[in-house]
Structure 1
Amino acid sequence: MKIGFIGLGLMGRPMAAHLIDAGHDLFINRVKPVSQFLVEKGATACDTAKAVAEAADIIITIVPDTPDVETVLFGDNGVAEGLAEGKLVIDMSSISPVETKTFAERIAEKGCGYLDAPVSGGEVGAKNAALTIMVGGSDEDFARGEPLFAAMGKTITHVGPVGDGQTAKVANQIIVGLTIEAVAEGLLFAKKAGADPAKVREALMGGFAGSTIMKIHGERMIAETFDPGFRIRLHRKDLALAINAAREIGLSLPNTASTEQLMNAAIARGDGDRDHSALIRTLAALAGL
């Protein structure tokens, strides 16, 4: 298929590469030295998002935040200007479920389909084509997008109509953020009490406390290797999405709010571009460690 791909960041680059490897014709935008290898693999560089949309039948976006998606889709020389009836837009960013529905309505006015398909799995999942992909949209549009998701991910779930993919991703980020905070507190408790955190982690991996986050992020916390991964700054953005959506539906998320504040403190300390496992550094500072 002719695929447009906009958003060649830490996650987007390997995802785009997998689509090329699967045999699709790829059209990309904003090629930098770090993403030049995609052109060498066969992708076609376009000057604007509009040009990408004109060349492709399905256009994928994966950019940092809600305003970024709006700009890419509806700004000057944006995707919407290059759409023709029957094309499909797939947004794989993690953004507001509410705004997602508005974007889908505006794209529908062009006679085009829309899927929200945020991902989980981080840079490792993107490189290994093992992402978890949560999809919102119609059955027909999901059927068109599913072969592309299969090239980039391992667990693909059609959650429901437009917006439900983003709702699932927000729920994911709540659980991941709070679990990272819990693992950090547990390991700091072990250290402050005089035990070896590495040995404590090893013991806990065999019980109910064992988890992917204990395995991967716990190891990063102990080794103090905090290269992203997934940046604290971006996870804080996702928790803000959760809190704002919860306010609209009248839901209290007290621990999500407290974890967001810890991430605010981490950003203030200069850790915003470290992996989210680096949240332990802020908690350690509070503990005097």
Structure 2
Amino acid sequence: MGLPMARNLLKAGHTVVGFNRSPEKVERFAADGGSGAGSIAEAVDGAEVVVTMLPDSPDVLAVYTGDQGILTSAAPGTLLIDASTIRPDVTVDLHHRATESGFRFLDAPVSGGEQGAVDGSLSIMCGGEQETFDAARAVLEAVGKTIVLVGGPGSGQTVKAANQLLVAGTIQLVAEALVFLDAHEVDLAPALEVLNGGLAGNTIMTRKGQSMLDGQFAPGFRVDLHHKDLGIYREAARDQGVFSPLGTAVTELMAALRRTGGGDLDHSALLQQVDALSGRSRWADR
């Protein structure tokens, strides 16, 4: 996600310095016209805005608060935007630490998948102060289309947790519907077309329907990451006493797919699991 987002910032006319723990990705970015850095401190030196996109809460904390991290290497007053998907409580704590150190901080997780990042059409849910959000808008508009301040610190991450619940639940229901239709020997492509044209229509059918029909599960968004995100949702739901039986079910289904070796597949591979549990083999590993 970070590489196509950085490319879109370049296209929008921003000067961008990139750093990644995988040097080959920095090299690819430099080949696109960006500048590569060899460390976090080098990347944020002189920056007006710092955008981070990292896998999980410990990674974000390490990058911001570790030795030679952003909070010790960037200049106070720098605008910090974290586009990662992490725990809301971790984000709130990071907001406080950044503010106490003289920074402006915005949590801004994104939705839209890898293709949305490439197209610059991401949905961005932001948490923080209105003034900080306004200052970040020019940068966010280079990578997204739907950009909304949803509340104070941590609110962006809370909305992203709800987003991940809805995405996983929708994939599971689409998967169950496809296996049901296949069991009744219905022609799946036209069935999916007519379903997507009615009240049941959804973005999962639009973007992933054909690849699911084809049994193509190369990762756009890996099961490992969605498993992590659903864990964030469940913990946040428990903290507030929210009853979420379907959320619990889809969390366990994603965990089962991961435990049985599907961690590196696209999350739409939930279809394979439904197929197998139904004693069928249309979408068996291929």
Question: In 2, are the aligned partners of 1:48 and 1:78 still within 8 Å (CA)?
Answer: no
- Residue 18 of structure 1: aligned partner: 8
What are the superposed Cα offsets for residues 108-138 of structure 1, whole Å, 9 maximum, x if unpaired?
1110110000000001100000110111111
- Residue 48 of structure 1: aligned partner: 39
Write the distance in 2 (CA, Å) between the matches of 1:191 and 1:268: 26
Write the distance in 1 (CA, Å) between the matches of 2:39 and 2:48: 16
- Residue 275 of structure 1: aligned partner: 266
- Residue 225 of structure 1: aligned partner: 216
Write the distance in 1 (CA, Å) between the matches of 2:276 and 2:66: 43
Question: In 2, are the aligned partners of 1:52 and 1:82 still within 8 Å (CA)?
Answer: no
Aligned residue runs from structure 1 range 33-182, under 5 A: 33-182=24-173
Aligned-CA RMSD value: 1.3
Query: How many percent identity over aligned positions?
Result: 42
Matched, 1:191 2:144: no
Deviates more, 1:153-162 or 1:51-60: 51-60
TM-score by length of 2: 0.94
Aligned residue runs from structure 1 range 231-270, under 5 A: 231-270=222-261
Question: In 1, are the aligned partners of 2:227 and 2:251 still within 8 Å (CA)?
Answer: yes
Report the secondary structure of 2:186's partner residue: coil
TM-score by length of 1: 0.93
Task: Determine which of 18, 21, 38 is the counterpart of 1:28.
Answer: 18
Q: Per-residue deviation at 1:35?
A: 4.0
Write the distance in 2 (CA, Å) between the matches of 1:207 and 1:118: 30
Report the secondary structure of 2:261's partner residue: coil
Write the distance in 1 (CA, Å) between the matches of 2:205 and 2:245: 23
Write the distance in 2 (CA, Å) between the matches of 1:232 and 1:62: 18
Q: Per-residue deviation at 1:85?
A: 1.9
Question: In 2, are the aligned partners of 1:27 and 1:55 still within 8 Å (CA)?
Answer: no
What are the superposed Cα offsets for residues 11-55 of structure 1, whole Å, 9 maximum, x if unpaired?
110100111111111122135324423213332222221222223
Q: Letter of the aligned partner of 1:218 in structure 2? A: G
Question: In 2, are the aligned partners of 1:217 and 1:277 still within 8 Å (CA)?
Answer: yes
Evaluate the alpha carbon distance shift between residue 19 and residue 123 of structure 1 in structure 2; reply closer, same or farther with a 3 A threshold: same
